[in-house]
Amino acid sequence: MTLETTPVTVDTRSGETLEIRPAKTTGEMQKFYQWSHHVGFIPAANEYRIYCDSPHNWPLIGLVNNVPVSCLLVHIYDNHTAFFGPYIVANAQDRRKGYGKPLWHYALDRLKGYNVGCFASKILQPSYEKFGFQTFYSFEIRQGEFPAQLRDQAARHHHPQRYEIRTWVGKAGTQELAQGQQPPQPMASQCHLPSLAHYDYIFTGLKRPELISQWGHTMQPHALVLCDVATDGHPVVAMGAIYRTSATNGYRLGPWYANDKAAAKALALELMTRVVTEEIKDDRGQPFVFDTTVSLSNLRAVQLMDEFGWHKVVDHLGGMWTQDMPEGMLEKDIYGCLGAMSG
């Protein structure tokens, strides 16, 4: 389904004209990254690249006199579901001038009939409810270092006979193939896109194979799955990625799904082990700092955060939707969400 994104202009309460259109250039896309960092989203260091090329993304930008002043990132998962990422008026002095809400209206007007999701802090949830959003579940952001006493429990050390570690295949399976051409086969050490997208769907109820493919490609090499070698077919039992954020020596774990707490822990420790052994610290010798967005409905995830000694830095973050919550989202063990921009 193609959605109409023709640029429009609206008069603001401050008497200026706001132009609303999709971002056109990499420089405009980088505004999302820069502004998100300034207001506390702390996105992945290269997360904006995921949204530059896909027709399923709407990086909406508001301009006054051709100067960007506001943005709203919209990701279209499928023909029925979408997600609002950062919604920002860049400068404090420009707030309450009417630069933000027109973007919100522009997107919702073109997504009529869609189930639209977003994350919202507790203070903003009443405002979003006026647009038809309801809060269905809560998250908190936990942060901490890699506990040295747990490093020998990574999958490679602690579970070599139980788990096989595989990497995500990046763009494989999404390109156009000539007639009669066979898709490339993943190597034994790789997990191909259909399995990844299906595993993501089991946990989230969202059909978003293109986003999962883009995410794995962009976040390599630290995007891994664990497969159970003791079970026929070696099924996926955990899936996750870890990536550098815009914070100094900061890394975020997400998505992070698992069949059980043991697999979740083994995968997280494996990902963190790869970071601390393969990445180079800056000259100041600061420790690596990790964070993830935890669903409070998953008590095992909360317990695991306590075991890691990770402390709460943001709480009362609501998962809101305009219709019903995607089926099964709270029935599965989501240990960490994909990201602030993507849901």
Are 314 and 277 contacting, i.e. CB atoms less than 8 angstroms apart?
A: no
Are 110 and 5 contacting, i.e. CB atoms less than 8 angstroms apart?
A: yes
Per-residue pLDDT tens listing for the chain (343 residues): 556 778 899 999 888 999 999 888 878 877 877 787 776 666 666 666 666 556 677 889 999 999 999 989 888 888 899 999 878 888 888 888 999 999 999 999 999 999 999 988 889 899 999 999 999 988 888 999 987 777 766 656 666 678 888 888 655 433 443 445 444 444 457 787 888 888 988 888 888 888 888 777 776 668 899 998 888 888 899 999 888 877 777 888 988 999 999 999 999 988 998 888 776 554 456 778 899 988 888 899 999 999 999 999 888 888 899 999 887 666 667 888 866 555 5
For the chain, state the CA radius of gyration: 20
Gap between the Cα atoms of 343 and 333, Å rounded: 16
Identify the helix (H) or strand (E) that includes residue 76.
Answer: strand 67-76
Angle CA(288)–CA(277)–CA(281) in degrees, nearest 5?
A: 45
Q: What is the DSSP string of 268-334?
A: HHHHHHHHHHHS---TT-PPPEEEEEEETT-HHHHHHHHHHTPEEEEEEEEEEESSSPPTTTTTS-E
* Cβ neighbour number for residue 311 with a 10 Å cutoff: 12
Gap between the Cα atoms of 9 and 286, Å rounded: 47
Is the pTM higher than 0.75?
Answer: yes
Which residues are CB-contacts of 65 (< 8 A; sequence separation ≥ 6)?
16
Identify the helix (H) or strand (E) that includes residue 237.
Answer: strand 236-244
Query: pLDDT value at position 19?
Result: 96
Gap between the Cα atoms of 163 and 231, Å rounded: 10
Sign (positive/negative) of CA torsion 319, 323, 326, 329?
Answer: positive
| 8-113: CATH topology | Aminopeptidase (3.40.630)
Between 193-204 and 209-219, two packed helices, what is the crossing angle to 10 degrees?
Answer: 110
Identify the helix (H) or strand (E) that includes residue 54.
Answer: none
Contacts from 82-85 at CB under 8 Å and sequence distance 24+? Answer: 82/111, 82/114, 82/115, 82/116, 82/117, 83/116, 83/117, 83/118, 83/342, 83/343, 84/116, 84/117, 84/118, 85/32, 85/118, 85/340, 85/341, 85/342, 85/343
Gap between the Cα atoms of 115 and 113, Å rounded: 7
Q: Return the residue matching tokens 């942060």.
A: 143
Angle CA(100)–CA(244)–CA(269) in degrees, nearest 5?
A: 125
Structure tokens at 137: 């579940």
Are 276 and 311 contacting, i.e. CB atoms less than 8 angstroms apart?
A: no
Structure tokens at 299: 């008590």
Query: pLDDT value at position 61?
Result: 92
- Same fold for the pair 8-113 and 142-336: yes
**What is 142-336's CATH superfamily?**
Gcn5-related N-acetyltransferase (GNAT) (3.40.630.30)
To 10 degrees, the CA torsion angle through 251, 224, 32, 48? 130
Query: What SS3 string covers 175-190?
Result: CCCCCCCCCCCCCCCE
Question: How does 104-136 read in b/e, with b if 16+ C-beta sit within 10 Å?
Answer: bebbbeebeebbbbbbbeeebbeebeeeebebb
Residue-range domain boundaries for the chain? 8-113, 142-336
Closest CA to 217 of 27, 73, 53: 53
Sign (positive/negative) of CA torsion 270, 272, 274, 277?
Answer: negative
